[in-house]
């Protein structure tokens, strides 16, 4: 299988490292692929016989800017790749454009139209165009892997699509955002204020300089929206979700919860109420009998309740670029197996 | 997709009910199948145009023995079906033969050799012949679905094979047996002895008349063995597992555990220690910080620890014949999707 990588940030680099680490083992299992394009916003590198990823990484150790140095060919762009069509799968890891999903949405759409499988870790195009992309993929007999968009290593999408297949899903609930989970744990463990916990999260690189996307509940809402639309086959919008973040939480609230034997979690939840779907993101207190009680900073969780397969809770999803890259690899392996390529 | 059902006990009947309930919904999603054989040890029914499952069930409501009545054709056997080869998939649900896996092992083997997919809920043939069956399936380009053999609705096999794909699994741990889980919870909740809890489990139909397979840890060991061999690609045997059951547990032990804030669980665990695998089934005390703490009578759980995808815990697996049948259906849907049939 010939792969093009679009986007060479943290997860993109971790993906190349993972391929170098895992390729011989995967080859033994009949999973064989080579990377022929690596592109970022400035251009790219291309080797129709397969890029030597180990060499690229070795060079990177000597000079941090190696990729930029090698990456002098401004003609190597997604459009160039889509004209040649000499790949079987693209890994799309450009930055998320929350407003329009572009340019990733167009890259993904054109790839699928050209019968090229796609695996993406980018929420933007999935929020803005999943239904269309899914339709185009099916019409062209190719696959669209989106596992990385909802919790990375936590197989939340597969959990609903593959593991609950054949059942009707009554509800989706999840602790889907690592940053807020870290902040809540910090407030619990130390009794500190939200501001102090946020500062620590920023210091450790867990929270972004502008953390509003996480702490105001938007990241959780994006993920809940993707899970709901993909697993329940809905066409909901962000505006259908009642979203609250964690910024108003006081140390006193945490103290009272702890005295009750409970912990605060930022939970995204979609439930069926008659013919309607109710979607909310809000802080909830959960007791030790709840399967989310132990979902701490490092992990995320999702729970499905169904008619015939009962409940399924998945807890996991190690953070970091390696885990995110590993979730991209998981989707690629699935596509290799189901497409027989 | 044309299906033959071998074995018409509780799960077999629930499977036919599920098909009647779900078939129109599944058809909308492009999953279309018909049951052309239903067989048990006494013979079977066969309709090359598809058995009217709703009619069969409706008749069953009038007369409990309907299947036996209809089922007068002693020539309709798995051998007859394998001569005609007019099905795409067999659902194998005969009783488990723990010693040899037969006759299921032979049915499955011959089906795979004849390029017929197999989904089974039967541990016997998987314990005794998985490696060979897997090889024959791959050689013939067909699939062997075994999800139901390890916790039914809990997607423990897929959790390891699909959701941890591309990672190296360091350990497998699970609360894999419902009967012992029920008994432990009963002892915890009421302070009763093991014998009293066992009697109650028998009264409710949760424990079998001869409960030794469950309470002495064998069921957990069988499931651990399947998970280990399938997911870690090993060829371990039951004799490689150090197995202890729950029969020696005293109310005093439970009382002490509860005072420590802990609960007893019967845990099956495979861990890598250097180049060796260590496999044990034994009672362990888990605290509220452990993801198995809330896995109570109704549910089961499994946890994988890996190099690149971190930890993944799956909790679920509603008990009963419907849930088991739904796990068979999940495997069939997967095969429909990946085989494009």
User: Is A175 a known ligand-binding residue?
Assistant: no
Categorize the per-residue pLDDT at A339 as very low, low, confident or very high, splitting at 50, 70 and 90: confident
Neighbouring residues of B171: CB distance < 8 A, sequence distance ≥ 6? B269, B270, B271, B272, B303, B304, B305
Q: How far is B288 from chain A (nearest CA, A)?
A: 7
Q: According to CATH, where is 3.30.360.10 located in chain B?
A: 159-316
Does B169 contact A at CB distance below 8 Å?
no
Place of tokens 């991209």: A328
Q: How far is B331 from chain A (nearest CA, A)?
A: 9
User: How many residues does the structure list for chain A?
Assistant: 341
Listed by number, the residues of chain B in 116-155 with a beta carbon closer than 8 Å to a beta carbon of chain A are 153-155
CA distances from B24 to A208, B134, B271 (A): 48, 32, 44
Structure tokens at A176: 């889907």
Categorize the per-residue pLDDT at A314 as very low, low, confident or very high, splitting at 50, 70 and 90: very high
CB contact under 8 A, A326 and B317: no
Instruction: Judge: domain A164-316, CATH 3.30.360.10.
Output: yes
In this structure, the number of other CB atoms found within 10 A of the CB of residue B171 comes to 17
Are B125 and B133 contacting, i.e. CB atoms less than 8 angstroms apart? yes
Structure tokens at B327: 């796990």
The chain-wide mean pLDDT, for chain A, equals: 93
Q: What is the CATH number of domain B2-153+321-339?
A: 3.40.50.720
pLDDT on residue B69? 59
Are A190 and A182 contacting, i.e. CB atoms less than 8 angstroms apart? no
Question: Considering CB atoms only, which of A154, A288, A327 is closest to B288?
Answer: A288
Neighbouring residues of B8: CB distance < 8 A, sequence distance ≥ 6? B38, B39, B40, B67, B93
Name the strand (E) or helix (H) holding A104.
helix A104-113
Bridge pairing between strands B262-273 and B276-287: antiparallel
pLDDT on residue B303? 97
Does residue B197 come out as left (phi exceeding 0), alpha (psi in the -120 to 50 range) or beta? alpha
Does A189 contact B at CB distance below 8 Å?
no
Q: How far apart are CA A189 and CA A206, in angstroms?
A: 17
Q: How far apart are CA B312 and CA A315, in angstroms?
A: 6
Which chain B residues have a beta carbon less than 8 Å from that of A155? 162-163, 312
Beta strand segments in chain B, E = 2-6, 34-40, 43-46, 89-92, 117-120, 144-145, 169-175, 241-243, 262-273, 276-287, 300-306, 311-316
Beta strand segments in chain A, E = 2-6, 34-40, 43-46, 89-92, 117-120, 144-145, 169-175, 241-243, 262-273, 276-287, 300-306, 311-316
Does A261 contact B at CB distance below 8 Å?
no
Please tell me whether the peptide bond between A43 and the residue prior to it is cis, using omega within 30 degrees of 0. Answer: no
Count CB pairs under 8 A between chains A and B.
144
Which chain A residues have a beta carbon less than 8 Å from that of B188? none
pLDDT on residue A72? 61
CB contact under 8 A, A317 and B310: yes
CB contact under 8 A, B167 and A326: yes
Q: Which of B134, B165, B169, B320 to mutate to test the interface with A (most CBs of A within 10 A)?
A: B165
Listed by number, the residues of chain A in 275-294 with a beta carbon closer than 8 Å to a beta carbon of chain B are 288-291, 293-294
Q: Would you call A253 exposed, middle or buried from its count of C-beta atoms within 10 A (0-12, 13-18, 19+)?
A: middle
Question: Considering CB atoms only, which of A299, A316, A333 is closest to B166?
Answer: A333
Are B31 and B336 contacting, i.e. CB atoms less than 8 angstroms apart? yes
CB contact under 8 A, B314 and A309: no
Does A269 contact B at CB distance below 8 Å?
no
CB contact under 8 A, A308 and B322: yes
Q: According to CATH, where is 3.40.50.720 located in chain B?
A: 2-153+321-339
pLDDT on residue A274? 84
Q: What are phi and psi of B232, to 5 degrees?
A: -90, 0
Categorize the per-residue pLDDT at A86 as very low, low, confident or very high, splitting at 50, 70 and 90: very high
- Strand, coil or helix: A277: strand
Q: What is the pLDDT along chain B (341 residues), one digit of tens a residue?
A: 999 999 998 999 999 999 999 999 999 988 999 999 999 888 888 999 999 999 888 887 665 555 665 666 778 899 999 999 999 999 999 999 989 999 999 999 999 999 999 999 999 999 999 999 999 999 999 999 999 999 999 999 999 999 999 999 999 999 999 999 999 999 999 999 999 999 999 998 888 889 999 999 999 999 999 999 999 999 999 999 999 999 999 999 999 999 999 999 999 999 998 889 999 999 999 998 888 998 987 689 999 999 999 999 999 977 789 999 999 999 999 999 888 77
Does B334 contact A at CB distance below 8 Å?
yes
pLDDT on residue B285? 97
Q: Which of A155, A166, A335 to mutate to test the interface with B (most CBs of B within 10 A)?
A: A166
CB contact under 8 A, A163 and B289: no
Does B329 contact A at CB distance below 8 Å?
yes
Place of tokens 């450009």: A94
Question: What is Dmax (Cα atoms) for chain A?
Answer: 63
Which chain A residues have a beta carbon less than 8 Å from that of B150? none
Q: How far is B72 from chain A (nearest CA, A)?
A: 32
Which chain A residues have a beta carbon less than 8 Å from that of B309? 153, 316, 318, 323, 326-327, 330
Does B333 contact A at CB distance below 8 Å?
yes
**Can you name the residues that pair with B92 across neighbouring β-strands?**
B6, B120
CB contact under 8 A, A153 and B326: no
Average pLDDT over residues A42-54: 90
DSSP string, B90-155: EEE-PPP-TTT-TTHHHHHHHHHHTT-EEEE--HHHHHHHHHHHHHHHHHTT--EE-GGGTTTTS-
Closest CA to A322 of A195, A148, A72, A198: A148
Structure tokens at A321: 């670029």
Are B309 and B164 contacting, i.e. CB atoms less than 8 angstroms apart? yes
Neighbouring residues of A327: CB distance < 8 A, sequence distance ≥ 6? A121, A147, A148, A152, A153, A155, B309
Does A256 contact B at CB distance below 8 Å?
no
Q: Which CATH number fits domain B159-316: 3.40.640.10, 3.40.50.170, 3.30.360.10, 3.30.559.10?
A: 3.30.360.10
Which chain A residues have a beta carbon less than 8 Å from that of B316? 309-313
- Strand, coil or helix: A284: strand
- Strand, coil or helix: A34: strand
Categorize the per-residue pLDDT at A322 as very low, low, confident or very high, splitting at 50, 70 and 90: very high
ipTM of the complex: 0.94
Least confident of A120-124, A129-133, B69-73, B79-83: B69-73
Angle B130-B136-B138 from CA coordinates, rounded to 5°: 100
For B307, nearest residue in chain A (alpha carbons): A323
Does residue B158 come out as left (phi exceeding 0), alpha (psi in the -120 to 50 range) or beta? alpha
Active-site residue among B110, B223, B265, B300? B223
Q: How far apart are CA B256 and CA B259, in angstroms?
A: 5
Neighbouring residues of A48: CB distance < 8 A, sequence distance ≥ 6? A36, A86
Question: B98 versus A163: which is more confidently predicted?
Answer: A163
Q: Would you call A308 exposed, middle or buried from its count of C-beta atoms within 10 A (0-12, 13-18, 19+)?
A: buried
User: Is B295 a known ligand-binding residue?
Assistant: no
Does A158 contact B at CB distance below 8 Å?
yes
Does A318 contact B at CB distance below 8 Å?
yes
Q: According to CATH, where is 3.30.360.10 located in chain A?
A: 164-316
Q: Is A25 a catalytic residue?
A: no
Categorize the per-residue pLDDT at A91 as very low, low, confident or very high, splitting at 50, 70 and 90: very high
User: Is A12 a known ligand-binding residue?
Assistant: yes
Neighbouring residues of B161: CB distance < 8 A, sequence distance ≥ 6? B230, B231
């Amino acid at each position: 299988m010939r792969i093009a990588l679009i986007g060479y940030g943290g997860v993109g680099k971790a993906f190349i490292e993972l391929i170098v680490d895992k390729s011989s083992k995967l080859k033994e299992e009949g999973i064989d692929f080579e990377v022929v394009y690596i592109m970022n916003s400035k251009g790219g590198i291309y080797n129709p016989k397969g890029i030597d990823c180990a060499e690229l990484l070795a060079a990177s150790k000597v000079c941090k800017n190696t990729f930029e140095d090698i990456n002098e060919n401004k003609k190597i762009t997604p459009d160039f790749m889509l004209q040649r069509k000499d790949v079987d799968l693209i890994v799309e890891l450009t930055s998320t454009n929350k407003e329009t999903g572009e340019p990733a949405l167009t890259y993904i759409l054109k790839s699928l139209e050209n019968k090229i499988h796609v695996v993406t870790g980018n929420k933007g195009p999935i929020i803005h165009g999943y239904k269309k992309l899914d339709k185009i993929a099916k019409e062209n007999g190719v696959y669209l892997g989106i596992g990385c968009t909802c919790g990375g290593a936590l197989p939340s999408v597969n959990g609903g699509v593959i593991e609950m297949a054949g059942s009707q899903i009554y509800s989706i609930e999840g602790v889907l955002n690592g940053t807020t989970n870290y902040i809540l744990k910090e407030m619990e463990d130390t009794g500190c204020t939200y501001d102090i916990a946020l500062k620590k999260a920023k210091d450790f690189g867990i929270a972004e300089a502008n953390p509003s996307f996480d702490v105001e509940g938007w990241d959780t809402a994006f993920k809940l929206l993707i899970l709901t639309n993909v697993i329940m086959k809905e066409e909901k919008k962000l505006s259908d979700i009642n979203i609250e973040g964690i910024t108003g939480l006081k140390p006193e609230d945490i103290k009272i919860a702890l005295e009750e034997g409970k912990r605060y979690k930022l939970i995204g939840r979609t439930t069926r109420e008659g013919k309607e779907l109710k979607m909310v993101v809000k802080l909830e207190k959960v007791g030790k009998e709840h399967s989310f009680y132990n979902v701490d900073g490092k992990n995320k969780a999702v729970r499905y309740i169904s008619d015939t397969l009962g409940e399924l809770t998945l807890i996991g999803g190690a953070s970091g670029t390696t885990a995110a890259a590993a979730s991209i690899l998981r989707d690629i392996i699935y596509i290799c197996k189901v497409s027989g390529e």
